[in-house]
Amino acid sequence: MQAGKAAESRDAGRPLQVTMKRGYEVLRDPHLNKDMAFTLEERQQLNIHGLLPPCFLGQDAQVYSILKNFERLTSDLDRYILLMSLQDRNEKLFYKVLTSDIERFMPIVYTPTVGLACQQYGLAFRRPRGLFITIHDRGHIATMLKSWPENIIKAIVVTDGERILGLGDLGCYGMGIPVGKLALYTACGGVKPHECLPVMLDVGTDNEALLKDPLYIGLRHKRIRGQAYDDLLDEFMEAVTSRYGMNCLIQFEDFANANAFRLLHKYRNKYCTFNDDIQGTASVAVAGLLAALRITKNRLSDHTVLFQGAGEAALGIANLIVMAMEKEGISKDAAIKRIWMVDSKGLIVKGRASLTSEKQRFAHEHGEMKNLEDIVRDIKPSVLIGVAAIGGAFTKQILQDMAALNKRPIIFALSNPTSKAECTAEQCYKYTEGRGIFASGSPFDPVTLPSGQTLYPGQGNNSYVFPGVALGVISCGLKHIGEDVFLTTAEVIAQQVSEENLQEGRLYPPLVTIQHVSLKIAVRIAEEAYRNNTASTYPQPKDLEAFIRSQVYSTNYTSFVADSYTWPEEAMKVKL
């Protein structure tokens, strides 16, 4: 054997991984465990020979085994538990399974099944994932971060569990959201899972049912608010950036409206942070609108937009629509006048009591109205967007009126989970006589029209946005994430929709292409960051796409065979 010949050649060219762990420690570490895919040589060198059955399975055979078990189960919650258990046992295999059919598995590990899993998180709880920080840990968060075994963390998803999807306050049960979100960072964007950290900030819950639930895993008292809450958040942000650096991406997830905007405005220019409910939802919605313009054959500023809902999602979308309209050449004031909103008290108009500053921006001169059907007839929108989590809010009459007012009405039922959707795809197509341009937050089955044409409803899932944004931000070391990042992301997503996709009713690229879409988003974000001198990863890579591809996580197993080689015989002679 030649001197310096690497072990790589003896193990099918797989990258070599070195670990000091031996025996059961290897099998119980999901980052390292390959189950029965360990070779005999690996088993002997890692002291696990005899701890596994005398069988050697390739990764494809393991995927097949998981799929057979998956198909055997009858409930989505059981399937969720199966996949999360796999993630706890064998991380590479978990992501290999997810990426083998992302369209099939995404609804299980994220919306809509993750909502059910959060509601029953105490029952589904098997092994802790992530970091649980409570209001009683103030003054000690830096110490708690040292408990996390990884020293390099590049992305954190944090929640306080107060507004989980459309389900409300789920307290500590909301941890399922950061866990699921970060799984998609990896499956869709290729962000390395060991560089991700899910965090739950437990300040209590106002959900009486949870406080009485014997399986509830969080603090059993009412939510603590005010200065103590703000101090906890400030300390958390400072502790994270002190340990992991100012470039550590911190994504806020499922905070209540009262805190979401406030915290975004407070931290956005100080830390590398964004709020997916506000900015991610806005980006994916605007991407759908930009794609829809290729069907309506006009500009975004030609449309009148009506929102059912005026929370963080609605306001985030509205603000990004204003930005997109400005880019078309109209003034900010003119763009704002094209947007109307309806909240729980009716149409948002000037002079109405108790409007937040965010809502006041979209309040126009108009009489007060409460009924959505009447409002649609009066405002005559060409775009109707539902983000209030009121299932069935888009009635038959409203859909018929939208069809009467517009040749191609744009109707987005974006609320999650499926039970909260404002209308189904079938209802939209049926009551608009197949003319409706539809997108939803949760997946719907294809719909066949009386004409025989089959339409595939577009799912405006935030997973088109946050994985690519995260990959781009991490790769170029972006220190602050401006609104322009999300408009750029929307434009990239819309550009990936083919004419064939549009003819099929899709406003988004097929989910099977999501890794490709995420890479395109990351490259564009990095290009603009270097152009605007906001990147911090230097020197600038000559080939940005190749550089970002090199950062992407591989789901293929690595080799643990020791890197052994020989020296020249003369050099190895024993000297007496």
Catalytic residue at 464? Answer: no
Largest CA distance in the chain: 103
Which helix or strand (DSSP H or E) is residue 110 part of?
none
Q: To the nearest 10°, the Cα dihedral for 321, 324, 330, 333?
A: 40
How far is residue 327 from each of residues 61, 321, 323, 336, 469, measured CA to CA in Å? 51, 10, 6, 13, 21
d(CA 423, CA 390): 9
Percent helix, strand and coil across the chain, each to the nearest 5: 50, 10, 40
Closest alpha carbon to 394 in 419, 421, 433, 434: 421
Three-state secondary structure along 285-351? HHHHHHHHHHHHCCCHHHCCEEEECCCHHHHHHHHHHHHHHHHCCCCHHHHHCCEEEEECCEECECC
d(CA 117, CA 110): 9
Catalytic residue at 121? Answer: no
Closest alpha carbon to 86 in 217, 193, 195, 198: 193
Is 110 in contact with 181 (CB distance < 8 Å)?
yes
d(CA 216, CA 169): 13
Q: Which of 34, 92, 154, 181 is catalytic?
A: 181
Residues 6+ apart with CB under 8 A from 318: 282, 305, 307, 339, 341, 362
Total Cβ atoms within 10 A of residue 243: 15
In terms of DSSP bridges, do strands 447-448 and 454-455 run parallel, antiparallel, or are they unpaired?
A: antiparallel
Give 157's strand partners.
198, 251
The three-state secondary structure class of 512 is: helix
d(CA 254, CA 169): 9
Q: Which of 95, 110, 216, 557 is catalytic?
A: 110
Token pair listed for 477:
């070391």
The three-state secondary structure class of 479 is: coil
Q: Where are the beta strands (DSSP E) in 424-532?
A: 437-440, 447-448, 454-455, 458-459
d(CA 31, CA 506): 37
Catalytic positions, written as ranges: 110, 181
